[in-house]
């Protein structure tokens, strides 16, 4: 397998323009003859579908939910970055590029990240034109706020509902194309396999989640925008339906998987409160703009927060990182919270929480101003915890949130399977070992609105293949494999529920491949997951039949993939003998307990190639070259 990143030559700031000029175009008449499948209708998939249809392609869009509006993207709260420099506070495309490269601990491609920073400004214009109601200043200008890992304010937002508003914008554009007959929308469908003919992606097998029927769909190219895999950990801030199955099916068919161990743990989530909890809730990073994070100085101090005087509080982020304070990046803030709790200074019943306190901000700006900025987040917190954050500090703890790893893609967003493009959280692209807040929405929309429309055209213009037909033997083989697996799952009739297996997998991953890792634990986890996977295929209980709506069956397929993927994640973490960003291996740390990179040996993307059931995946490296920024020890002090 060749990993050719296809990064264009030339100066960094001119690469994308030059490349766009060099990409081949498809003439308007030919576009109408090309069929494109888009799997996923979140921000990445909906924006891609709408734009490709607007260009004239025939698009078929698939999603699990009953409407694209229910994609996980709707949950995004805090905002979307762009280098508009409306605040005149020193922002620029270069600064957004630099912050993002540094935030990712120098484990992403310079050219991709620079392009992302360039496109960020187009995204805001596009969304404003669609009517996305971004927050505005009194004078009518678009407002900005600060997010972690940056010293400028560049985050555009719509209260704590930015994802929802952006998705409504993309959905509006998508609906227009559906009405125009250019997009056929297939809701309640789950892609279960990728069909590859003569080495090229030519279609998918999808299960109709209502009727149970297996469907074959052929096309000239397939675009995967199926989201991230945080739910491998069972408890996460992701929507319950988020899964890895479409990406993993593609991996099994030859798409290489990059950096699977890069998982972002978000510092400000509502802590776990019970064994049978199924989901965790994020409290947006935007709250760290005004909120101060602290714990009691003494582990013995069990007084309620309002009785602990200022002098006996440890504002540990402000003290340790005076330059960035509460706005250090997520990996740093998460580990710092863990360190405080490990020292016994955690608060609440479980002692696995720290305070996020907005009292000073409420006193300074007034309750109304704070309510306007964060009102819905405060309401959500109160509904879940029965505590009023206007009166008492929130209690928060880190939780699994986002996955930087994903299917490997080149500069054109094409995977190692020709004709399979991967967008949004499903690809590994631009965030390196740690994503900065408000950068996922930016990347998903950059991919969907502004990159794929060019790069897919180049692929189609250069491809010469016959029109794929659903009666091709490759479709029958794929469909048969999917059917066999469904029958197998239904026939086991064991004693443990799917959720029970999932919960145990999540626990193994969280304890051994979570906020911190070390070789001994990772080796233990590898064995535990392999045993659990073997037990799953002997002892899982999946009720019902495959003939209709069966959520137990749906989940079983997804958990089977998570189990296999869990082993890959641990393998990847074991291979990377350094610490970088979210991948904090305790054996590699500075004297000040910060991540210690090994640029000489690990300045690369790790990409894994599937080699069949029971065989170890093959490891490949894509070296990362830095010509424009100097690799430094990341410091936020
Ligand atoms: C609580 C929360 C808050 C966040 N807030 C922010 C924020 O403020 N700013 C920011 O930049 N980022 C934020 N993020 C991250 C961001 O929301 C996501 O990274 C982004 O929305 C992912 O978009 P996507 O289009 O790639 O995937 P998704 O929105 O997850 O969409 C995936 C789509 O794929 C479909 N799908 C999945 N599997 C299949 C299958 N097998 N077959 C068919 N369809 C399938 C789904 O139905 C869905 O339509 C937040 C994340 C969380 C969890």
Element (H, E) at 183: strand 183-186
**Contact 405 CB / ligand 1 (< 6 Å):** no
The one catalytic residue in 292, 330, 335, 503 is 330
Distance 271 CA to ligand 1 centre (A): 22
Q: How many CA atoms lie within 13 A of 332 on its CB side?
A: 27
What's the maximum distance between 2 C-alpha atoms anywhere in the chain? 74
Q: Which of 147, 440, 447, 558 to mutate to test the pocket of ligand 1 (most atoms within 8 A of CB)?
A: 440
- d(C-alpha 636, C-alpha 103), whole Å: 10
Q: Compute the distance between CA of residue 192 and CA of residue 212 in angstroms, rounded to an integer.
A: 12
Instruction: Supply 294's token pair.
Output: 């602290």
Per DSSP bridges, beta strands 214-218 and 200-208 are antiparallel
Q: How many CA atoms lie within 13 A of 33 on its CB side?
A: 11
Distance of alpha carbon 382 from alpha carbon 541, whole angstroms: 37
Task: Give dist(CA 446, CA 412) in Å, integer.
Answer: 12
Decide if 10 contacts 18 (C-beta within 8 A).
yes
Provide the 8-state DSSP code for 230: G
Ramachandran angles phi, psi of 224, nearest 5°: -105, 125
Strand order from edge to edge, sheet including 604-609: 406-407, 257-258, 604-609, 618-623
The vertex-238 CA angle with 234 and 239, nearest 5°, equals 100
Q: What is the pLDDT of residue 566?
A: 98
**Residue 596, CA distances (Å) to 318, 602, 635 in order:** 22, 11, 11
Please confirm, yes or no, whether 202 is among the known catalytic residues.
no
Q: What is the pLDDT of residue 1?
A: 83
Question: Which residues share a beta bridge with 608?
Answer: 257, 619
| Distance from Cα 359 to the centre of ligand 1, integer Å | 32
Residue 226 Cα: closest atom of ligand 1: 34
Beta bridge partners of 62: 39, 186
DSSP for residue 589: B
Nearest C-alpha neighbor of 232 from the set 258, 264, 204:
264
* Backbone φ/ψ region at 525: left (φ over 0), alpha (ψ -120 to 50), beta: alpha
Q: Label residues 262-271 b or e (16+ Cβ within 10 Å = b).
A: bbbbbbbbbb
Q: What is the pLDDT of residue 637?
A: 86
Q: Splitting the chain (637 residues) into consecutive groups of 10 residues, what average pLDDT does each group show?
A: 94 98 95 96 98 98 97 95 96 97 97 98 97 94 91 93 97 98 98 97 98 98 98 96 97 98 96 89 91 97 96 97 93 95 95 96 95 91 96 96 98 98 96 96 98 98 88 97 98 98 97 96 98 98 96 98 98 98 95 93 98 96 97 88
- Helical H segments across 80-179, by residue range: 93-103, 110-130, 162-179
For residue 269, report the distance from its CA to the centre of ligand 1, in Å. 17
The C-alpha angle with vertex 217 and arms to 498 and 5, in degrees rounded to 5, equals 85
Nearest CA to ligand 1 atom 27: 227
Cα angle for residues 59, 61, 65 (degrees, 5° grid): 165
**Cα→Cα distances 478→156, 186, 203, 214, Å:** 44, 20, 10, 10
Q: Does residue 428 sit in helix, strand or coil?
A: coil
Ligand 1 nearest-atom number relative to CA 81: 11
């Amino acid at each position: 397998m060749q990993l050719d990143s296809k990064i264009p030559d030339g100066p960094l700031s001119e690469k994308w323009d030059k490349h766009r000029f060099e990409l081949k175009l498809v003439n308007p008449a030919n576009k109408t003859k090309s069929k494109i499948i888009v799997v996923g209708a979140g921000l990445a998939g909906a924006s891609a579908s709408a734009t490709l249809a607007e260009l004239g392609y025939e698009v078929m869009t698939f999603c699990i939910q009953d409407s694209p509006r229910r994609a996980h993207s709707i949950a995004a709260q805090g905002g979307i970055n762009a280098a508009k420099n409306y605040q005149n506070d020193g922002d620029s495309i270069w600064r957004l590029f630099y912050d993002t490269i540094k935030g990712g601990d120098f484990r992403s491609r310079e050219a991709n990240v620079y392009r992302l920073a360039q496109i960020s400004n187009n995204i805001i214009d596009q969304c404003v034109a669609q009517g996305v109601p971004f927050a505005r200043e009194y004078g009518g200008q678009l407002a900005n706020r600060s997010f972690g890992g940056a010293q400028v304010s560049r985050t555009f937002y719509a209260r704590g509902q930015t994802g929802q508003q952006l998705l409504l914008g993309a959905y509006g554009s998508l609906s227009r194309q559906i009405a125009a007959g250019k997009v056929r929308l297939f809701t309640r469908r789950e892609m279960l396999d990728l069909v590859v003919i003569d080495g090229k992606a030519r279609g998918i097998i999808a299960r109709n989640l209502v009727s149970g029927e297996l469907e074959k769909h052929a096309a000239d190219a397939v675009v995967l925008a199926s989201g991230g895999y945080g739910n491998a950990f069972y408890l996460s801030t992701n929507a319950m339906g988020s899964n890895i199955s479409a990406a993993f099916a593609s991996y099994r068919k030859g798409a290489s998987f990059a950096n699977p161990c890069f998982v972002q743990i978000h510092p400000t989530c509502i802590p776990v409160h019970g064994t049978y909890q199924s989901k965790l809730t994020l409290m947006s990073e935007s709250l760290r703009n005004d909120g101060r994070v602290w714990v009691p100085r003494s582990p013995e101090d069990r007084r309620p927060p309002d009785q602990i005087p200022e002098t006996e509080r440890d504002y540990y982020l402000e003290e340790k990182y005076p330059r960035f304070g509460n706005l250090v990046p997520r990996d740093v803030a998460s580990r710092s919270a863990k360190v405080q709790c490990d020292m016994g200074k955690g608060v609440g019943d479980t002692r696995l929480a720290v305070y996020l306190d907005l009292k000073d901000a409420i006193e300074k700006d007034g309750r109304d101003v704070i309510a306007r900025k964060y009102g819905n987040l405060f309401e959500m917190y109160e509904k879940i915890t029965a505590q009023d954050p206007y009166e008492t500090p929130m209690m928060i703890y880190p939780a699994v949130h986002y996955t930087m790893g994903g299917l490997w893609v080149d500069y054109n967003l094409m995977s190692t399977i020709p004709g399979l493009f991967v967008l949004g959280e499903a690809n590994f692209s631009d965030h390196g070992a740690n994503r900065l807040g408000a950068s996922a929405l930016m990347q998903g929309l950059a991919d969907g609105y502004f990159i794929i429309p060019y790069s897919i055209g180049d692929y189609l213009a250069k491809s010469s293949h016959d029109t794929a037909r659903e009666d091709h033997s490759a479709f029958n083989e794929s469909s048969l494999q999917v059917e066999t697996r469904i029958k197998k799952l239904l026939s086991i009739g064991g004693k443990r529920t799917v959720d029970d297996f999932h919960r145990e997998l999540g626990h193994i991953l969280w304890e051994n491949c979570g906020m911190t890792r070390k070789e001994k634990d990772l080796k233990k986890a590898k064995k535990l997951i392999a045993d659990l996977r073997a037990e799953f295929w002997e002892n899982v209980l999946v009720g019902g039949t495959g003939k209709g709506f069966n959520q137990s069956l749906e989940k079983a397929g997804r958990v089977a993939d998570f189990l296999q993927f869990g082993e890959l994640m641990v393998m990847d973490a074991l291979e990377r003998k350094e610490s970088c960003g979210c991948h904090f291996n305790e054996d590699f740390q500075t004297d000040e307990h910060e991540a210690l990179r090994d640029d000489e040996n690990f300045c690369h993307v790790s990409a894994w190639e599937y080699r069949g059931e029971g065989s170890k995946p093959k490891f490949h490296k894509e070296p990362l070259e830095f010509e424009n920024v100097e690799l430094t020890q990341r410091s936020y002090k």
